[in-house]
Structure 1
Amino acid sequence: MSRVRGLLLACHPLPTLAVTVMAAFLAAAVGLPVGTVLLVVGAVLTGQLSIGWHNDLLDAERDSSAQRTDKPMATGGVDRRTLQVATAAASVATIGLSVLLGFPAGGAALVIVVCGWGYNLGLRATALSFVPYVIAFGVLPAVPTLALPGAPWPFWWAMTAGAALGVAAHLLNVLPDLDDDLRNGIRGLPHRIGVRGSMAATMLLVLVAAAALLFGPAGPVSWWRWAAFGVLVVAGVWVLARSAAAPGRALFRVLAASAALDVLLLAVSGTTIVRG
């Protein structure tokens, strides 16, 4: 059980769960059959597991030297061999499930995994660290829609919202490790623009995603979408005002909650994201 717990913690559980749940909501909302929904969920989940475990494998020595108590390999919660086997198994599983999902939906699912591995293998230490997130999260809404008959792409606004949320997730994910990363020579986009810049950029990206989800779809905008957008604008003004003076945990929580609200807006967009 301790090994299983170590594997669960090493897969970066919150991002893995968030991405998988979003894919599940979208797959169900666009009207895919249950079997296809399960294939989408399986391909996305195993892909995220492989990315998370691969990341911890590469960071094992650094995490141990930094005495990271939140990293299972650094605390002995899981050994390298177990993590290597799990990474390989997840990678094989996501390839197999993507093949069963068929082209082009399965290909889109694999693009997300390639982006994650590319980030792990070096892009995270460059000014282009945001690029894998733009591509992967921009493509994510396309995985369920491309599995529909005729393989339609999502509308531009759904992919734009996904890409903006992806970069926001990148900035938020790196913030807690910013100083440790800098000590180890990692200088991605968040490290170059700093804590305040990252927080401000995250909020702006959340607002971009919200605007795309609000004004992109054709037809009248429901009152609750306007209400959600209003909440995000108020949160954005507060974050932008405070991030210049005293960034801290409260700001981080507001940013995370704002991004989660955008994810919810995207997830409930349903069949409106499908381009005929």
Structure 2
Amino acid sequence: MAAGAATAGLVRACHPEPTVAVTALSGLLALRLGHHPATLVLVMAAVFTGQLTIGWSNDLVDADRDRAVGRTDKPLVTRRVSARTVRVALAVAAGACVPLSVALGPAAGLLHLGLVGCGVAYNLVLKRTPLSWLPYAVAFGLLPAVVSLALDPPEWPPGWMVAAGALLGVGAHLVNVLPDLDDDAATGVRGLPHRLGPLRARVTAVLVLTVASVLVVLGPGWPPAWAWGGLVVVGVLAVAALRGRGTTPFRAAMAIALVDVVLLVLRS
């Protein structure tokens, strides 16, 4: 039972939702770009271990702050898993990420390791600064490049995809932080969303995600009817995010991000 509880705590501490989402996105992009099945699995394994590295390091860095504000959803706070166990898991994930990334090829591997470094830099320093958006923009913008550079021969993704990914990353950062603004403020975290304030952060997130939607739909050329339909859905969600109350704006903004990801994969 103790081992099961520790495993459950490790899963929760790795930020499973974004870990699974980013890994799945990399796999879908690899599938769309025609990667060999073995390379597709390798891409996903490298990205997965990189996301584990970022997620576990985040909870370790934030443990004291989470404890101070009583974050009972954090397993390190509730002691469902020990800091030592998370450190060991982090070392294993980071250790596996390096050879898995290198196996993608020099360009894709070095780029992916740089993106993991961006995530760790966010955890350690940048989340408390006006540049908190930058690691998200870099990591989401260049994730498609990791996948395409792993092709044989390597290819650079189109500019619209990099730009849309970067905007999607910034929007995801703003939306992700919105529910935690008060807790963050109480512990001295002053990233871009905190400096904007709840209303301006929400409006900026919706604007950025909507622009990303337009880029994804129009960037590759004249879109098919279903892509226009996706843009209409984004428009409806944007109105709900801007005018809704309670949890509606947050949920609507998250839905825009999800639609953007689907459109990005289908238009790649």
Same fold (TM over 0.5): yes
Residue 228 of structure 2 aligns with which residue? 226
Residue 64 of structure 2 aligns with which residue? 61
Residue 161 of structure 1 aligns with which residue? 164
Separation of aligned partners in 1, 2:123 and 2:129: 11
Residue 258 of structure 1 aligns with which residue? 256
Residue 43 of structure 1 aligns with which residue? 46
Residue 236 of structure 1 deviates from its aligned partner by: 1.6
2:36 is aligned with what amino acid?
P
- Given that 1:142 and 1:153 are in contact with CA atoms closer than 8 Å, whether structure 2 keeps it comes out as yes
Residue 269 of structure 1 deviates from its aligned partner by: 2.3
Residue 274 of structure 1 aligns with which residue? none
Residue 120 of structure 2 aligns with which residue? 117
Map 1:132-147 onto structure 2 (within 5 A): 132-147=135-150
- Given that 2:238 and 2:252 are in contact with CA atoms closer than 8 Å, whether structure 1 keeps it comes out as no
Aligned with 1:44: secondary structure? helix
The correspondence for 2:267, drawn from 259, 266, 269, is 269
Higher relative contact order (CA 8 A, sep 6+): 1
- Given that 1:207 and 1:236 are in contact with CA atoms closer than 8 Å, whether structure 2 keeps it comes out as yes
Cα deviation code 1:178-226 (max 9, x no counterpart): 11111111100000011111111111111111111111103x3110100
Residue 268 of structure 1 deviates from its aligned partner by: 1.8
The 4+ residue runs of structure 1 with deviation greater than 3 A are none
Map 1:181-196 onto structure 2 (within 5 A): 181-196=184-199
Under a length normalisation based on structure 1, what TM-score does the superposition of the two structures give? Answer: 0.93
2:49 is aligned with what amino acid?
T
Separation of aligned partners in 1, 2:101 and 2:175: 29
2:152 is aligned with what amino acid?
P
Residue 240 of structure 1 deviates from its aligned partner by: 2.7
Aligned with 2:103: secondary structure? helix
Q: What's the % identity of the aligned pairs? A: 48
1:230 is aligned with what amino acid?
V
Residue 237 of structure 1 deviates from its aligned partner by: 3.0
Map 1:1-80 onto structure 2 (within 5 A): 1-80=4-83
Aligned with 1:149: secondary structure? coil
Separation of aligned partners in 2, 1:2 and 1:56: 17
Residue 47 of structure 1 deviates from its aligned partner by: 0.3
Residue 239 of structure 1 deviates from its aligned partner by: 2.5
Unpaired segments of 5 or more residues in structure 1? Answer: 271-276
Residue 89 of structure 2 aligns with which residue? 86
Alignment of 1:105 with 2:103, yes or no, is: no
Separation of aligned partners in 1, 2:92 and 2:175: 29
Aligned with 1:104: secondary structure? helix
Alignment of 1:202 with 2:205, yes or no, is: yes
- Given that 1:25 and 1:268 are in contact with CA atoms closer than 8 Å, whether structure 2 keeps it comes out as no
Residue 215 of structure 1 aligns with which residue? 218
Separation of aligned partners in 1, 2:46 and 2:132: 24
- Given that 2:23 and 2:48 are in contact with CA atoms closer than 8 Å, whether structure 1 keeps it comes out as yes
Residue 131 of structure 1 aligns with which residue? 134
Cα deviation code 1:61-101 (max 9, x no counterpart): 12122221100000011101000011111111111101111
- Given that 2:168 and 2:209 are in contact with CA atoms closer than 8 Å, whether structure 1 keeps it comes out as yes
- Given that 1:138 and 1:160 are in contact with CA atoms closer than 8 Å, whether structure 2 keeps it comes out as yes
Unpaired segments of 5 or more residues in structure 2? Answer: none
- Given that 2:130 and 2:191 are in contact with CA atoms closer than 8 Å, whether structure 1 keeps it comes out as yes
- Given that 2:241 and 2:248 are in contact with CA atoms closer than 8 Å, whether structure 1 keeps it comes out as no
Separation of aligned partners in 2, 1:262 and 1:3: 35
2:13 is aligned with what amino acid?
A
Residue 231 of structure 1 deviates from its aligned partner by: 1.4
Separation of aligned partners in 1, 2:79 and 2:138: 34
Under a length normalisation based on structure 2, what TM-score does the superposition of the two structures give? Answer: 0.96
Separation of aligned partners in 2, 1:133 and 1:4: 28
